[in-house]
Amino acid sequence: MAKLWGTRFSKGLDPSVLKFTSSIHFDKKLAIYDIDGSMAHAAMLGKKGIIPKKDAKRLVSGLKALRKGFQKGTVKLDESKHEDIHSAVTEMLAKKIGKVAKERLHTARSRNDQVGLDMKMYCKDKIDGLVDCVTYLQKSLLNFAGKNINVIIPAYTHLQHAQCILMSHQIIAYVEMLERDKERLLGCKKRTDEMPLGSCALRGTSLNIDREAVARALGFSRITQNSIDAISDRDFIMELLAALMIMGIHLSRFAEDMILWSTKEFSFVEIDDSLATGSSMMPNKKNPDVLELIRGLSGNIYANLSSVTVMMKGLPLSYNRDLQLDKVPLFSSVETLQEVLPLTAKLVKTLKVNKANIKKKIGEDEFLFATDIAEFLVKKGYSYRKAHDITGRIIKYCIKGNKKISDIPQKRLKSFSDVLNVKVIKGIVDPERSVASVKSKGGTNPTMVKSAIKRWRRKLGNA
């Protein structure tokens, strides 16, 4: 294994140290970015006359070929032969085009700024991919919401029955959350979009490089403004991991909702057989493993942020080798969500709604209309306090007598309030009417929910 730095040392590196410090088994994922960055760098070096033009040309065309080889799979990286992806690219290039690779490519460049560049390119790229995955999931949720627009379920606070809502209204809550996730990703991308190359080891170089040209060639909006910051900064990784962590929390909540909804007890939805698993011992089982793993993976996604944050804590400037430990956690969160988001969409697409059961459930709990009664009373002139109180007494009466609200006799109703009677109560105790009565913007009224779906579809494009 050829090293880029051995001369001043009187001994070779201990093999266990080489194994311990080498990063090739994970930073190989940066290969394409490393090649692209090297191409832009070599071209610039040639243009500025820092290396001979013909050498630059050779470097660039060699790198192009190497890139193609990587993409086609004809070039294979041998992990046992290289210390890191930067050395690997140089050495593989040298095999192709000769010693000019090792001699010239590393001019006015250090691995410190090079890895910063590769990581920023990776992040920008992956953010775009993740944003697409999120949009895809949002569309699946919207389709599900559209398809099941008439389904009325009990809404929960404290996991206790609260009021009637459209199932679609709850589903769209997740569309909102995911949109904020995307905004966070894009905010992070904006801050990541600064080209660090040319910061070199830490202070720049006395060679006459053109950093803006490299930035342009690689599609960056601007260059970093302080070389020490540029090679010490891992904000973009912590910020991305934090954004993904919040997304992981959202998905854990969605998973929890769906796990609950598919219990025997709730039975609101049924997961498709193709997405559920069984038990090696209990022949009856159909388990929502996919959802459980999505919920549980929020722990891992959270921990990836922890890992980088704790590593960064208290590090003096500028570059320290600890920074190498940013990669495994970052790749883990990115790849986990790249897998989880489409899988969640697939699950949503095939989710069956148990409409009959839901209808039955709603029918069994008239307390869901307690707020409807209270608001009816307010419209009749009661203060909310008084209305809440009257309704509370009705509920207590029903619990004690084990009665439904619609079973309260006319006379007893009147005793709670003059404006109440059997006909009024029958009118109120009706899920369709209940949801339709909502007037406030952002509420569960079917007209509003339908508009929300339309608005989202316009925003996100067709499914």
DSSP class per residue in 270-332: E--GGG-B--SS-TT--B-HHHHHHHHHHHHHHHHHHHHHHHHTTPPSS--GGGGGGHHHHHH
Q: Which is nearer to a second copy, 277 or 410 (CB)?
A: 277
Question: Which conformational region is residue 49 in: left (phi greater than 0), alpha (psi within -120 to 50 degrees), or beta?
Answer: left
Catalytic residue among 16, 158, 206, 440: 158
- At residue 187, what are phi and psi to the nearest 5 degrees? -60, -40
Catalytic residue among 221, 279, 415, 451: 279
Q: Which is nearer to a second copy, 121 or 237 (CB)?
A: 237
Q: Which is nearer to a second copy, 75 or 246 (CB)?
A: 246
Q: Please state the closest distance from residue 68 (CB atom) to a second copy, in A.
A: 26
Q: Which two tokens stand for residue 443?
A: 């509420």
Q: Please state the closest distance from residue 333 (CB atom) to a second copy, in A.
A: 11
Query: How distant, in Å, are the alpha carbons of 71, 209, 422 from that of 183?
Result: 31, 35, 51
Nearest one of 134, 157, 151 to 351, comparing CA atoms = 151
User: 160 has which bridge partners?
Assistant: 157
Judge whether 194 and 224 are in contact, CB under 8 Å: yes
Q: Parallel, antiparallel, or unpaired: how do β-strands 222-223 and 194-195 relate? A: parallel
Judge whether 196 and 231 are in contact, CB under 8 Å: yes
- Whether 388 is catalytic: no
Q: Which is nearer to a second copy, 70 or 376 (CB)?
A: 376
- Whether 106 is catalytic: no
Nearest one of 98, 108, 110 to 58, comparing CA atoms = 98
Q: Please state the closest distance from residue 258 (CB atom) to a second copy, in A.
A: 10
Q: Please state the closest distance from residue 413 (CB atom) to a second copy, in A.
A: 15
Distance CA 329, CA 109 (A): 26
Q: Please state the closest distance from residue 280 (CB atom) to a second copy, in A.
A: 4
Q: Which is nearer to a second copy, 69 or 156 (CB)?
A: 156
Q: Please state the closest distance from residue 271 (CB atom) to a second copy, in A.
A: 10
Distance CA 26, CA 331 (A): 9
Q: Which is nearer to a second copy, 69 or 107 (CB)?
A: 107
243-260: buried (b, 16+ CB within 10 Å) or exposed (e) per residue? bbbbbbebbbebbebbbb
Distance CA 310, CA 380 (A): 59
Q: Which is nearer to a second copy, 71 or 415 (CB)?
A: 415
Query: How distant, in Å, are the alpha carbons of 164, 342, 378 from that of 175?
Result: 20, 14, 33
Q: Please state the closest distance from residue 107 (CB atom) to a second copy, in A.
A: 4
Task: List, by residue number, the catalytic residues.
Answer: 158, 279
